[in-house]
Structure 1
Amino acid sequence: MCCNAPSFFIILYVTAVYFFGIYLNFISFQDYFECYACKELNFRQQDYDYIVVGSGSAGSIVARRLAENKNLKVLLVEAGSSGGGILQIPAVGVMLQKSSFDWGYRTVPQKQACLGLDDQVSIWPMGKILGGTAMLNNMIYVRGHPDDFARWFRDTCNYDYSIDILPYFEKLENNGTNKHKGSVPISDLPYKSNVSDYFLQAGICLGFGISDGVNAEPGFSSPKITIQKGQRWTPYHQLAKNRKRNLAIVTNAFVEKVLLRDNFEAYGVKYTHMEEPIFAKAKKGVILSAGVIGTPKILMLSGIGPKQHLEKMKIKPKLDLPVGDNLQDHVTTGLDLLTFDYSPNIGIRQMLSPWSMLNYFLRSRGPWTTVGCESIGFFNTAKEIVPELQFMIFPLGVTIDDGYYLSSLTGIGERLWKKYFAKIDKPSFTILPIVLHPKSRGTVRLKNNNPRTPPLINPNYLSDSYDIDILIQGIEMIKEFINTPPMHRLGVKLNPIKFPGCEKFEFDTRPYWECYVRHFTLTAYHPIGTCKMGEVVETDFKVKGTRKLYVVDGSILPDLPSGNPNGAIMMMAERAAEIIKHHCWKTQRKCCAAEVFQKECQC
């Protein structure tokens, strides 16, 4: 068995994980019996102007912006719990996976990918908590590349990045300067291991520059993250900090469907709270921000989706739209593909040290503020301006806890652990090569018409050979990366153990790596696209063919951005809030005066 930490610390770690799991269940159970909203507003009886479904990054921004108008009554509905203060510790985020604060989604078995994982499925954690999936993620903030958004709005009148996109990023960001004082703090890493600088030096040795870490430009950098004073920061934190009296929040509220009139006007939602059905009404609009899985599920349960599928589910079709199509995800591979001769100063021992705890609670610093990823890089080919490949570099691997917890989060079963990971006898680390613009497309579909049944998620990983080519290019770049003087000083080597299922292929050949990526296919936790803008929603975020029904979350993105998508999702939410509040947007004001909607524009 791999010994990344002494047995005493492993035993202590396992004990801590066990009791922390009990603690999570306790605070979730406690919150369930505390009505979070009824202390201030009787949400069961009151009508609202707007109802926002989902308190993730997008939903929290939209709810906060709408509530800035004191004349509007806004209801924010969240299926999960409120959580507790200890959950704001950055390093705790990974511990929320597979807990009551995680929807616990799993894909259907993949035919061409994930062949080495348990049941050939990919595990997709998503936040079921105030703050949404941003409470579980790595907190990395990337804008993406300007050409990403040009593709999204290519059919829009006189689109201009500097007018239609950049101002919303700047409105969002607070980077500590006088120029940008937005709502989301963008900061440098508060903690880095003693090997972090070696990664940047290796990038320089390959001829890459140091990028700014925000824009997806070729080069390496330390990531920018959404942390403030050592604590995880999400748009919900900003909403809670500036909570308005006209904003009601109800947790543990499971939305089943949107209420629609015969003319497809949304006038409310049906949800259950404490097992009681509630019909909440909205005069001006319903905004779905339930995420790339939750939003299409609610729409289809409401009768909006592919007609044949809805009829098969015995749901009366109201609007035939490609809801649930166009599912995309940043696909990756390569956990523990590399080993050190040198041990980094971060791991189980450091996390469990009393000094780390004191350093965090007294100074908001130390290992507990780690986000895991310590370097990122973006790369493109000579033919492409937009980056095709991203690196996320972690100084640790899943072997650090000897298979007691972390491996289960990625679908590594006991058989795979024993035949591969347990044989790694050195400290391991990970460079994830991420396909930024995969061509494989999947679907989200209902399993039945019971709202409580998890949907069928099929990302259809690696169905397009382009995705395999980019992953293998990434592995070839990793080999160049570790063949640099900084990596030689750390004694970094390629893990020579053949991956189970690929033994018949010669190691480090194209056939071997293709087998490897098909067997060890991993999600980068960045799914988008299931309510595609231009097909399901208009550019004003309104669902096609409906009135007063909007979608604002990652499901509307037509394509994946170049980098971690949370930044782009938050930017779009700022944009959507302005449009919904004022019924217009800047490009329409600029060049479409002849349009009817221009007469209604009051911005």
Structure 2
Amino acid sequence: MFKIQGSESCCNSSEHVVTPVPGHSALVLSQAAAPYVDSENGISFWGITDAAHGVTYGHVFPPLATSGAQPTEYIGEIVAPVANKWVGFSMSGSMISSLLIAAWPNNGNIVFTTRYATSNVLPDVYTGPVITTLPSSHVNSTHWKWVYRCQNCTTWKNGGSIDVNSTSSVPAWCASTIAVDNPANPATTMVQHTDFGFYFFPFGTAHVSAALYNNWAAGGTGGTLNLLLYNFPSARNRRHWRWLLIIDHHYQRGPTNTNGNSVMILLQISSFSAHMLLSVDYIIVGSGPGGIIAADRISQAGKSVLLLERGGPSTGETGGTYQANWTKGTNLTKFDVPGLFESMFTDANDFWWCKDITVFAGCLVGGGTSVNGALYWLPSDNDFALSAGWPSQWTNHQQYTSMLKARLPPTDAPSTDGKRYLEQVSTVVANMLIPQGYRNVTINDSPNAKDHVYGYAAYDFIGGQRGGPVASYLRTAKARKNFQLQMYTNVLNVVRNGSQITGVKTNDTSVKDGFFPLNPNGRVILSGGTFGSARLLFRSGIGPTDMINLVKNDPVAGPNLPPSSQWINLPVGYNAYNPSINMVFTHPTVDSYNNWATVFTDPPAADAAQYLKNRSGIMAQASPRLNFWSALGGSDGTTRWLQGTARPGAASITTTLPYNMRRSNLHYNRISVVGIKSRGRIGINAALNGVPLVNPWLNDAGDKSALIQGLKNIISTVPQVSGLQLIMPDNTMTMEQYVAAYDPSTMNSNHWVGSNIIGTSAGQAVVDVNTKVFGTNNLFVVDASIIPTLPYGNPHGHIMSVAEQAAAKILALAGGP
């Protein structure tokens, strides 16, 4: 939260749990903030204890007003082990333009500071709040506790505020193991926090009566605990669900206040969705496209499903709240508006990217489908062919692709008015391709046509908003009582006894050892993505020995490994696949939309207004405008295919040639080659972060020559298009020099596949034809990592078709629940 340099914000997916801490008794309900009572002062808080550092953050508000202004204050507490030199939080979940509060111990006292920042630098001291330290605050040899009243703390300057009536707010916490520079001075400088995260907090339910609040605010103790709960399953479903309700025995007897009088604990069953599913038929890890579709189809079959997501919400319907200022007052988040796609890569508050994977990976509900450009190509027959590495049992994909298309129809005109916007780039690129023999097609009407064709970009947007599996499959799954989505739950490893998986271990310390068990014959499905699922296998003793030994040497993860006699040696991490390269052109007719630089903070007013009115216009479409394909020969006789994406502008440009950015006359192509032989390896480092170990880019001579030829083909007709100029590569480089000098780190198209490849042999593959991990009885993988080669189009649609087929195969497999 507090920092001096860099661009990281205080918001990121992390661990958010409620557990008993010294001097506390916790009432545990879920991963979100839950009610608990501080046994020293009798105050009923709502809060969490973050699993990584053991710090409790609690808050309670005065009663909501029936009319007029809502409360502007609350009572809070922080209880922290002394290893935490300072901790802090942002009730709005953001570092920038938000009230920030931090505290630390000094000579037996608590020092606190209020700060405010307008950019990612050390926040300034902010004098608006009035904070009073309450009597039960103290420092001892193991912990320090700060209990305080915070007045004028729900609103702050520049119109910032929290909604104290909200039931889906996402505050942020941060902690540091590095002391502030001058502990006696609240205005001290300090270095960036060493960890941070955020969590769900139902502000609207964390209110008590005026009598209770005023008593506590004046330093009094004792009171009533309100437990709010709903959606208790009916008797006919109880075989699927087990509920956890823990009340410390001290409170069942009744604690005493400072006057020695007994305090009654009153449990009031009311209306808050805070339930926990403990033992289920299926645990699915990761809410990307594979996990969501598998969860929907399996719960549709009547099985109980727990879907665990390490990150938080995305779109408004999932509880997301991260909005552009121009969308305030709507339910539209950054992830809902298609035109904000390019800003995913330029926003300093990029909490949606996984911070422990060194390439782009989405850690939030929807995974990559909530942050990508949503290009949506229905797979071709060749995408599932034997020649593409698929087992024969998978070649008949049409019925599953048809199921996908029925649930989620593609569109190449996403604006609700049926018009296409910023289409100048489509005309220019088409004029370059037509002389080369390309023809115009509606691409998803002819999925098998992938040679010398071009067409308008197609998406899975719905009604001018981001659609994808979140707005389709997840929506129907959430309506079922046998389905539960739990966010902010980081699965660390599967728990297994030899070949049998018994459940998963998580960061959720609100359950014993963070363990979520399976029902008899239950199954676990990993859907954490190409990097995430591979790492989970390593941490579960499955994969190459060098990777498992890195886990073994980790002081936290190592003890969770099964004995080495139960390790399963599979080629996890190999066969990684992901190539692309960029070219930049200019043309006087093309509007680059200022390279999308201000679409989040300050888009053209007319465009923003048009979108808000009826979900039409430029903001109803992501930046890609046209796609094209052609077959390429190779020096080795192998056919490869070039796929291109053209868009007006892009998030970043590198060129030595001048171009008129003010006149916005730029357009950009991304070129990928599929059907190639180059492969790499991914894995983990000593910190257990997901990393590429061997880059998969152009390590085959035939691949490289095919790419160079394909690029030369594209630019061969540039002179035939009046006003068209190639500026990257510029006129000082040959295409061979350009490819040779291309930075490998920028060849990442974010389309990683293949780390847990499907096949018929454990020596050559990680999962079998039913997506079950070789050597296990009940562990499966359903995500991009099982795909043997990249499909012809962006893999977005291909992954979803794979998930449809995988779910059917898993359900049909004998021995399940």
Q: TM-score range by the shorter chain?
A: 0.7 to 0.9
Report the alpha carbon displacement of residue 341 of structure 1 after superposing the two structures with TM: 2.8
1:235 to 453, 469, 479: 469
Residue 532 of structure 1: aligned partner: 757
Considering fraction of residues, name the structure with more strand.
2
Deviations 1:214-242 (A, max 9, x none): 32522111121101111011212223422
The yes-or-no answer on 1:391 pairing with 2:636 is no
Partner of 1:217: 450
Does the 8 Å contact 2:170/2:201 carry over to 1?
no
Question: Residues 155 and 245 from structure 1, CA distance in 2 versus in 1: closer, same or farther, beyond 3 angstroms?
Answer: closer
Q: Is the 8 A contact 1:28 1:100 kept in 2?
A: no
Change (3 A) 1:38 1:562: farther
Matched ranges for 1:441-520 at <5 A: 441-448=679-686, 453-455=689-691, 457-484=693-720, 487-488=721-722, 491-495=723-727, 507-517=732-742
Over 3 Å counting, the alpha-carbon distance change for 1:455 and 1:234 in structure 2 is same
* Equivalent residue in structure 2 for 1:551, among 748, 762, 781: 781
1:46 maps to 2:278: yes
Q: Choose from 359, 372, 396 the match for 1:137.
A: 372
TM-score by length of 1: 0.76
1:462–1:156: structure 2 CA closer, same or farther, 3 Å change rule?
closer
Quick one: distance in 2 between partners of 1:78 and 1:93? 22
1:61 aligns with 2:296: no
- Among 518, 536, 545, the residue aligned to 1:298: 536
Q: Distance in 1 between matches of 2:459 and 2:724?
A: 27
Indicate whether 1:126 and 2:361 are aligned. Answer: yes
Where does residue 146 of structure 1 map in the other structure?
A: 381
Q: 1:168 aligns with which of 372, 376, 400?
A: 400
Offset at residue 147 of structure 1 (A):
2.1
Q: Which of residues 422, 431, 441 in structure 1 aligns to 2:669?
A: 431
Q: Secondary structure at the match of 2:171?
A: helix
**What is the DSSP-based 3-state SS (H/G/I as helix, E as strand, rest coil) of the residue aligned with 1:326?**
strand
Is the 8 Å Cα contact of residues 392 and 432 (structure 1) preserved in structure 2? yes
Which of 339, 343, 346 aligns to 1:91? It is 339
Deviation at 1:509, TM superposition (A): 2.8
1:38 Cα deviation after fit: 8.2
Q: Distance between the aligned counterparts of 2:488 and 2:468, measured in 1?
A: 19
Which residue among 378, 398, 422 is the counterpart of 1:193?
422
Offset at residue 291 of structure 1 (A): 0.2
1:70-129 deviation line (CA, Å, top 9, x unaligned): 3x211000011013231211122333346111114665xxxxxxxxxxxxxxxx321111
Question: Once the two structures are superposed, what CA deviation does each residue of 1:130-181 show, in whole Å capped at 9, x if it has no partner?
Answer: 0101111111111343223112686845x584xx2011111001xxxxxxx3
Spell out the pairing of 1:11-50 with structure 2 (5 A cutoff): 29=171, 32-34=199-201, 40=231, 42=243, 46-50=278-282
- What secondary structure does 1:88 align onto? coil
1:203 Cα deviation after fit: 2.5
The answer as to whether partners of 1:386 and 1:562 remain within 8 angstroms in 2 is no
Q: 1:338 to 1:169 in 2, by over 3 A?
A: same
Structure 2: distance between partners of 1:20 and 1:197: 40
Alpha-carbon contact 2:292-2:474 (below 8 Å) kept: no
More helix by share: 1
Query: Residues 17-59 of structure 1, C-alpha deviation per residue, up to 9 Å, x if partnerless?
Result: x989999x99653661338998657565620010000000110
Per-residue CA deviations over 1:479-527 (Å, capped at 9, x if unaligned) read 124233xx31xx11121775xxxxxxx8343542333435784222111
Distance 1:21 1:529, change over 3 A: farther
Q: Is the 8 A contact 1:332 1:435 kept in 2?
A: no
Are 1:101 and 2:352 an aligned pair? yes
Q: Distance in 2 between matches of 1:389 and 1:496?
A: 18
Q: How far apart in 2 are the matches of 1:339 and 1:377?
A: 19
Structure 2 vs 1, CA of residues 562 and 189 (structure 1 numbering), >3 Å: closer, same or farther? same
Indicate the residue corresponding to 2:507 in structure 1. Answer: 272
CA distance in 2, matches of 1:148, 1:258: 31
Partner in structure 2 of residue 203 of structure 1: 433
Distance 1:91 1:375 in 2: 16
Contact 1:55 1:289 in 2 (8 A): yes
Query: Is it true that 1:287 corresponds to 2:525 in the alignment?
Result: yes
Alignment partner of 1:378 is 2:629: yes
Structure-2 change in CA distance of 1:298 and 1:349 (3 Å): closer
| Paired residue secondary structure (1:95) | helix
* Structure 1 residues without counterparts, runs of 5 or longer: 1-14, 108-123, 174-180, 398-405, 499-505, 584-596
CA distance in 2, matches of 1:149, 1:20: 48
- Where 1:380 maps in the other structure, the secondary structure is strand
1:523 maps to: 748
Number of residue equivalences? 510
Query: What secondary structure is seen at the aligned counterpart in 2 of 1:431?
Result: strand
Distance 1:473 1:467 in 2: 10
Change (3 A) 1:62 1:476: same
Q: Secondary structure at the match of 2:514?
A: strand
Cα offset, 1:540, TM superposition: 0.5
Larger Rg: 2
**Which one of 248, 252, 255 corresponds to residue 488 of structure 2?**
252
Where relative contact order (Cα < 8 A, 6+ residues apart) is larger, the structure is 1
Cα offset, 1:477, TM superposition: 2.1
Task: State the shift of 1:429 in Å.
Answer: 1.6
**2:320 pairs with 1:82:** no
* Distance of aligned partners of 1:76 and 1:520 in 2 relative to their CA distance in 1, 3 Å threshold: closer
The runs of 5 or more residues in structure 2 that have no matched partner are: 1-95, 98-116, 122-159, 163-167, 173-197, 204-227, 233-242, 244-274, 315-319, 321-331, 553-557, 760-764
Which amino acid counterpart does residue 559 of structure 1 have in structure 2?
Answer: T
Q: 1:325 aligns with which of 571, 574, 577?
A: 574
**In 2: Cα distance, 1:481 partner to 1:40 partner:** 63
Residues 784 and 799, structure 2, Cα contact 8 Å, conserved in 1: yes
Alignment check: 8 A CA contact 1:28 1:101 kept: no
